[in-house]
Structure 1
Amino acid sequence: MDQGMQIVIESQNPWWFSKNFDKGIDRLSFFPEIIQYLNAKEILLLTGARRTGKSTLAYQLIDYLIKTGTPKQNILYINLDEPLFMSMRDDPSLLGSIVEEYTSKRENKEILYLFIDEIQNYKYWAYAIKTFYDTKKYIKCILTGSTSSVLKNSAASRLSGRYLACTVYPLSFQEFLIFKGIINPEVIKKRQLFDEYLKFGGYPRIVVEADNSLKMQILKNYYETIYLKDIILPNNLRNNSDLVNLLYYLISNSGNLYSFNKIAEIQHISPDTVKEYTEYAQNCYLLYTLMKYTWSVKKQIANPKKIYALDTGIINAISFTFSENKGRLLENYVFCLLNRIFDEIYYHKRNYECDFVVKSKYPVTMEQNNILKSNVSQISMAVQVSLSLKELDTKNREIRGLKEAMEDYNLNEGYIVTENEKDMVTLDDKTIHIIPAYSLENELREFTK
């Protein structure tokens, strides 16, 4: 290892020299599976959009290891965003040579925790990690990455059965309160804080920034970095204006039904281009697609879809006015929260529409399956979103769509999420819980216990 590389490696591993390093505000308690996966032999993948806190979580894992007795020399951290490593991204021996030289100098043969940040920056990462896993049983790999297509495709083909993954999202509202240093605020204060959260989103850097105008500028920078580094550059796109216009349209219409053909007509590009660019945006976690729930996969694909954005702050920073589109932001927030907790989310539409129906992570009981005799029982929750139910027509419309979904999926309870209202409605044998958005996270955590 030459002197330049040695200096870089040492600067990235300050704990070797008992130096302090920035661990940020603790988030590990919100990701219990990470500690569980850390203790498994499989490779641990921390994926998610840029700036959501993957690197900070890696530092918190390092701090956890040190505090629980792991020798500091048994932790090796490599950040592939470092310019020196970026210049060597096409060198197939890069990671192997670093690890070989480091392990040859270790005095003990205990487990080595190998942290590699921004793994997608290295062309041969999957080959190198598979070799470590198969031939060096004393190495536990913890990887972070910002592009799901690179990670999932390479991992699926090269690392099949060898990895466990965890997606890191922007802060939830409960995490937002912790970052603000606020515990159990009164209702009025909680409403004000949720309004701030809805407007600026949950990126950790944004939450701790006091200047609102600077928040918006940073959010715009995040957005531009995502589409430049994770869409345009890796996919060698030439007509950037088509991509930018399409992303702006999709983000500005979050929660609306769309089809590739309809958007292609509006944007004056081909349906194939719309599909391709939308997939790129999904691969870097910027956008998420919601499909209609139906028994047929072909029908799911053929039906109109909905688009939701990674973060409400991103929506606000690049598209519409906050006060005029608060309802749409609220719906996007609910999607993001459901997406963090549940495996599969859909929208329901027969005669009426329900914003979200959720497939449970947990199998139904044998008794339930015998009664229903179909996979309809896989739907465990129905959720409607409305800024307010004070207008009777709005309340009737939202209840109508929710009740239809509850009847179709044999649910006794359903939820309508509002900005501030709380109530309970009983219709026949169905119970509808009307809850304020700031309480939704706690409700969902209770539901999944």
Structure 2
Amino acid sequence: MLQETILQQKVERNKLIQIDYQPRCYHEQVEKYLKSNLMKLITGPRRAGKSVFSLLLLRGKRFAYLNFDDDKLLKEFDEEHIMQVLKEVYSDYDYLLLDEPQNLPNWDLWVSKLYRRGYNLIITGSNSNLLSSEMASLLTGRYLSIEILPFSLRETLEYRKSNFQPALPEDKADFMLQVEDYFHYGGYPEIINNRDITESYLKTLFDSIIMKDIVRRYKVRKVEELYQFATYMISIFTSPFTYSSITEELGLSSKTTVQKFCTYLKNCYLFFYLPRYNHKLKLMQKAPQKVYIVDNGFLSSSAFQISENKGRLLENLVLLEFIRRKYEIGKNLFYYRNQSDKEVDFVVRENNVVRQLVQVCWDMSNPKTQKREIGSLMACAKDFPNGELFVITWNEQKEITMNAKIIHVIPYYKWCLSYSRN
């Protein structure tokens, strides 16, 4: 029975590697690590393309494949028997791809054993806390971790074979329509060319994340409370919150419950929490965090009944782009509010020095809006004299000089497409 299951998974694997997929921008970075003995951890939200990315990485190479999102495999699992069957099914292989092994009880002990035996492992998982503390200690310096998010704007446009530098007005208009489509509906690969199913797809995906990645994994009993909490967090995206404020607002049983739910939703990559920058760690931990969601499609889908606010949607996209650029929330990416309650959306720290202050504003054509946004940016910039100043807009580009400082105003799409990982 186990052999039949693994044979069936091999058939599925062989079909998948024949499909012509959109290459991800992480590919070249990770491929050079394949021949090393490092364990490769590919993490990210459900349906973002982790398995496809791993298969693309291993295409043309000899590898065995086990998918632990398959209930049959979970029920039939026996660690010695499964390795024997793998030898029979694949005869010889250089890599072992384990898809979502955290669904397996005590999976980390088994994987640690495989690592010690010399297997070259590629592991995917829809949990940012993929390694237990014990396994992380064991493997310190011996694994590479990479996060796969839904498609970026660049990847979406490449997938659609868009012209990045349209010359004719009609081509520019078509290009902006595609950028706007991404702005509203996000980058989940399966719906980029099938927007008619966006609402039902994302509702089903949301339910799957809640049930499979949280309720089942963490044995949550208060399922209705969890749904209520997650839906509320979607409604306040880009807004500051504290555990106490949510506990009171939703009438939940305790602040501890809120803390747990926040952790669960963060670990499954549904939400990100951006702390307020402060030189003192204790004050930073006490300050409100701002909540962001992993894809704008969840926000624009009427399934979640979120009223559109273009400025907030744009801010959410900018946060996601920073994450794709490997900035780490709470380590070198924050928001900031000064003592006069002037706020800047993002501050970027490098080598313990704030190097960039980034404000997000949909449209600064109104002089009052420009005065407000630039005023907040300049007020906060006084605390960070080495910071380069940016305002990311929808479609405005210019430079503003104020108090001997240059403020770079740049459209979101140009900011995204100008970035190179190399």
Do both share a fold (TM > 0.5)?
Answer: yes
**d(CA) in 1 for partners of 2:256 and 2:84?**
45
How big is the shift at 1:178? Answer: 1.5
Residue aligned with 1:149, SS: coil
| Structure 2 stretches lacking a partner, 5+ long | none
2:44 corresponds to 1:48: yes
Please name the residue that 1:253 is paired with: 236
How big is the shift at 1:29? Answer: 3.7
Residue aligned with 1:218, SS: helix
CA 1:187/1:405 → structure 2, altered by over 3 Å: closer, same or farther? farther
Map of 1:161-200 to 2, 5 A cutoff? 161-184=141-164, 185=166, 186-200=171-185
Select the residue among 406, 416, 438 that pairs with 2:391: 416
Please name the residue that 1:347 is paired with: 335
Paired amino acid for 1:172: S
Please name the residue that 2:70 is paired with: 82
Please name the residue that 1:159 is paired with: 139
Please name the residue that 1:148 is paired with: 128
CA 1:405/1:167 → structure 2, altered by over 3 Å: closer, same or farther? same
Paired amino acid for 1:77: Y
| Structure 1 stretches lacking a partner, 5+ long | 364-374
8 Å contact 2:69–2:100 — kept in the other structure?
A: yes
Please name the residue that 2:262 is paired with: 278
Residue aligned with 2:208, SS: helix
2:9 corresponds to 1:12: yes
Identity of aligned residues (%): 29
Q: Deviations over 1:202-231 (max 9, x none)?
A: 1001112142xx111101111111011111
CA 1:105/1:316 → structure 2, altered by over 3 Å: closer, same or farther? closer
**d(CA) in 2 for partners of 1:169 and 1:246?**
23
Please name the residue that 1:367 is paired with: none
Paired amino acid for 2:217: P
Please name the residue that 1:372 is paired with: none
Q: Deviations over 1:322-363 (max 9, x none)?
A: 6x3121111101111111111331001103100001123xx4
CA 1:118/1:105 → structure 2, altered by over 3 Å: closer, same or farther? closer
How big is the shift at 1:13? Answer: 2.5
Q: Deviations over 1:414-447 (max 9, x none)?
A: 11111111111111331111111111213443xx
Please name the residue that 2:346 is paired with: 356
Q: Deviations over 1:375-419 (max 9, x none)?
A: 4x2x22211001111121211121122223333222353111111
How big is the shift at 1:101? Answer: 4.7
Map of 1:199-218 to 2, 5 A cutoff? 199-211=184-196, 214-218=197-201
Would you tell me which structure has more helix in proportion to its own residues?
1
How big is the shift at 1:24? Answer: 4.5
TM-score of the aligned structures, taking structure 2 as reference length: 0.90
**d(CA) in 1 for partners of 2:15 and 2:413?**
40
CA 1:380/1:320 → structure 2, altered by over 3 Å: closer, same or farther? farther
**d(CA) in 2 for partners of 1:144 and 1:8?**
19
8 Å contact 1:52–1:170 — kept in the other structure?
A: yes
Please name the residue that 1:133 is paired with: 115
How big is the shift at 1:271? Answer: 1.7
CA 1:275/1:268 → structure 2, altered by over 3 Å: closer, same or farther? same
How big is the shift at 1:106? Answer: 7.6
2:300 corresponds to 1:316: yes
Comparing 430-439 with 408-417, greater Cα deviation is found at 408-417
**d(CA) in 2 for partners of 1:178 and 1:126?**
37
Please name the residue that 1:407 is paired with: 382
Paired amino acid for 1:12: Q
**d(CA) in 1 for partners of 2:399 and 2:132?**
43
**d(CA) in 1 for partners of 2:98 and 2:344?**
42
Q: Deviations over 1:124-152 (max 9, x none)?
A: 321122112222x3x21000001223435
8 Å contact 1:191–1:420 — kept in the other structure?
A: no
8 Å contact 2:163–2:175 — kept in the other structure?
A: no
Please name the residue that 1:266 is paired with: 249
8 Å contact 1:254–1:328 — kept in the other structure?
A: yes
Map of 1:34-73 to 2, 5 A cutoff? 34-63=30-59, 66=60, 70=61
Paired amino acid for 2:67: N
CA 1:303/1:19 → structure 2, altered by over 3 Å: closer, same or farther? closer
CA 1:44/1:216 → structure 2, altered by over 3 Å: closer, same or farther? same
Q: Deviations over 1:286-329 (max 9, x none)?
A: 0000001111111111001100001110122243456x312111
Map of 1:82-101 to 2, 5 A cutoff? 82-88=70-76, 93-94=78-79, 96-101=80-85
Map of 1:279-298 to 2, 5 A cutoff? 279-298=263-282
The alignment's C-alpha RMSD in Å is: 2.3
Please name the residue that 1:371 is paired with: none
How big is the shift at 1:107? Answer: 7.0
**d(CA) in 1 for partners of 2:16 and 2:243?**
51
Select the residue among 423, 428, 432 that pairs with 2:403: 428
CA 1:255/1:59 → structure 2, altered by over 3 Å: closer, same or farther? same
Residues matched between the structures, number: 409
How big is the shift at 1:103? Answer: 4.2
Paired amino acid for 2:161: G
**d(CA) in 2 for partners of 1:431 and 1:112?**
53
